[in-house]
Chain A
Amino acid sequence: GAVVSQHPSWVICKSGTSVKIECRSLDFQATTMFWYRQFPKQSLMLMATSNEGSKATYEQGVEKDKFLINHASLTLSTLTVTSAHPEDSSFYICSALKGGRTGEQYFGPGTRLTVT
């Protein structure tokens, strides 16, 4: 199997606070994980690629100082949304790369963030 978990599954926070989302690969090691954001009825948007032991690579237009990514082990990557604002409210989904160059990605269940 290839199971990826995310925690929390949903979170409500006040504007200006920070929120940390964890992504874990439970039954395989993932040197690379990805963070996506998806707004209602829109397609997946890749935010960043997270590599174990190195800095994340952010997609164009994604603020690296606002979305802090740490990939401290082969099974855990975290995304911290700093100084959250209502426009950051979205569905955040991580995925983990299994299979190296074959490219198979397995997604976590997602975290629904609401900023009030």
Chain B
Amino acid sequence: QKEVEQNSGPLSVPEGAIASLNCTYSDRGSQSFFWYRQYSGKSPELIMFIYSNGDKEDGRFTAQLNKASQYVSLLIRDSQPSDSATYLCAVLSNQAGTALIFGKGTTLSVSS
């Protein structure tokens, strides 16, 4: 069973804090890992992708991948109210062809 698990939240953080979003996956053969942001009523937007173990930083976002633990996370520094959205973790698995396996998403709420 190919699965991607996320805590549904809501995760509530104050403005300026670090938001930490976590994701685990079951297929050890997974190759690529993605974080999408989806605002209510809108389609998902790709914000980060990571292929290798370790950290990848892009502005206020840092993706962290640990293949041994089958764990990928997204850190959002200096969180802003505009970051309030649902964050979807997605995984590319050898067993699923080119289709991504999506988690159900974590809802983040940043209060001002």
Which residues of A pack against B, CB within 8 Å?
2, 32, 34, 43-44, 46, 49, 91, 93, 95, 97, 101-110
Residues of B near A95 (CB, < 8 A) are: 44
Given A44-B88, A49-B97, A102-B51: A107 touches B102 (CB 8 Å cut-off): no
Residues of A within 8 A of B31 (CB): 101, 103
Give the contacts of B41-77 with A (CB-CB under 8 A). 41-46, 49, 51
- Whether the Cβ atoms of B102 and A44 lie closer than 8 Å is yes
B51, closest chain A residue (CB): A102
Chain B residues proximal to chain A, CB less than 8 Å: 31-32, 34, 36, 41-46, 49, 51, 88, 90, 92, 97-100, 102-105
Q: Is the CB of A107 within 8 A of B99?
A: no
**Are B46 and A103 in touch, CB under 8 angstroms?**
no
List 8 extra interface pairs beyond A95-B44, A109-B42, CB under 8 A: A43-B102, A44-B44, A102-B32, A103-B49, A103-B92, A105-B34, A107-B36, A108-B43
Q: A93 contacts which chain B residues (CB < 8 A)?
A: 43-44
